[in-house]
Amino acid sequence: MTTVEVPHGSRSVVLTVSEVIAETADTCSLVFAVPDQLRDAFAYRPGQFLTLRIPSERTGSVARCYSLASSPHTDQAPKVTVKRTVDGYGSNWICDTVRAGDQLEVLPPSGVFSPKDLNADLLLFAAGSGITPVVSILKSALAEGTGKVTLIYANRDEGSVIFAAELRELATRHADRLAVVHWLESVQGLPDAAQLAAVAAPFTERQAFMCGPGPFMAAVHDALARLQVPRTNVHAEVFNSLAGDPFADREVAEVSDAEAADAATVEVELDGEVHTLAWPRKRTLVDIMLDAGIDVPYSCQEGECGSCACTLVDGEVEMDNSEILDPEDVADGYILGCQAHPITDTVRITF
């Protein structure tokens, strides 16, 4: 049995796995028991993810982000779903090792892949395990919203369809609001942009959310561009393996007199409050907000998860790593708070 004596940092907690569900031959779900005193910390929005600490004999641990497939509006406990990948250390360890009663170290929910309005009409795209955050959004919209939902879901074959029975039941129960379009590679081949555009053509006014492997996401982006869906209506979730350790407590670095003298001034709006801070140019936005005691959203601090994405309203910044952002995102003013440094003397940012 896997047990964790104490968490490795002040942000993480130890949760017990209450149930392990075999979803398909290569996919399982972990349901977590959340104690009452942690309910607020583990309240989450549809489409968010948890970061799990996976033991490793070589490095001590690795951090992996897994989407919540549960809905905060329909499910009693948070559930992440994990699909094996050929060389995926984390996914194979979870599927091979974790059993009910085991304990895992977990960071609180994070991520921005979530609808602002559950009443909106939605166009959802998923491929393979990309269904995990998408089904959370789908269930939440059906339970709490009023809009129509169309899901286009691609898989290798019928046996690879995660949540097949649940999706059938939802489609039957919400026949007037939910349409599920399955695309099986074994029958139809890999979907290309033209084919996806043909399926999505009736729904171009909707908010679009997508998650899946890179080639699938590229095809969906291309399809929506062909249909002239506004970039602001397109939302993508992308995960990369984390190289660092988000579980370790960060060290507060001393700001020298020279750094303080050359600092920019940033005005940050977060949760309706505006904060004005000095921003030393070698520090990141997340760093200075945490040092000021502000509960800024972040997870990996590597520019790989998108949790700290925010909008540059005025001024200029540079980023150490922005590969997770599309060129269109950058053009629309999106930046990563954990990677951003000021260029201009004054900057305005909103979360």
CATH class of 13-109: mainly beta
- Please give the CATH architecture assigned to the domain spanning 122-237: 3-Layer(aba) Sandwich (3.40)
Domain locations in the chain as residue ranges: 13-109, 122-237, 257-350
The overall longest dimension of the chain from CA atoms, in Å, is 66
Detail the DSSP E strand segments found in the chain. 13-24, 27-33, 49-56, 60-67, 79-83, 103-110, 122-127, 149-155, 178-184, 207-211, 234-237, 264-270, 273-279, 309-314, 317-319, 334-336, 340-342, 346-350
Q: What are phi and psi of 331, to 5 degrees?
A: -65, -30
The pLDDT score that the predictor gives to residue 325 is: 85
pLDDT at residue number 44:
97
Please give the CATH superfamily to which domain 257-350 belongs: Beta-grasp domain (3.10.20.30)
What is the Cα–Cα distance from 93 to 78, expressed in whole angstroms? Answer: 20
How many whole angstroms separate alpha carbon 25 and alpha carbon 32? 21
pLDDT score of 250: 74
Position 145 scores a pLDDT of: 97
Successive 10-residue mean pLDDT values, the chain, 351 residues: 74 95 97 96 96 84 94 97 92 96 95 93 98 98 98 97 98 98 97 98 97 96 96 86 76 80 95 94 94 87 87 95 83 92 96 92
Please give the pLDDT value at position 5.
65
Instruction: Please name which of 255, 314, 309, 312 lies closest in space to residue 279, comparing C-alpha atoms.
Output: 255
H or E element in which residue 165 lies? helix 164-173
Considering the entire predicted model, what is its pTM? 0.86
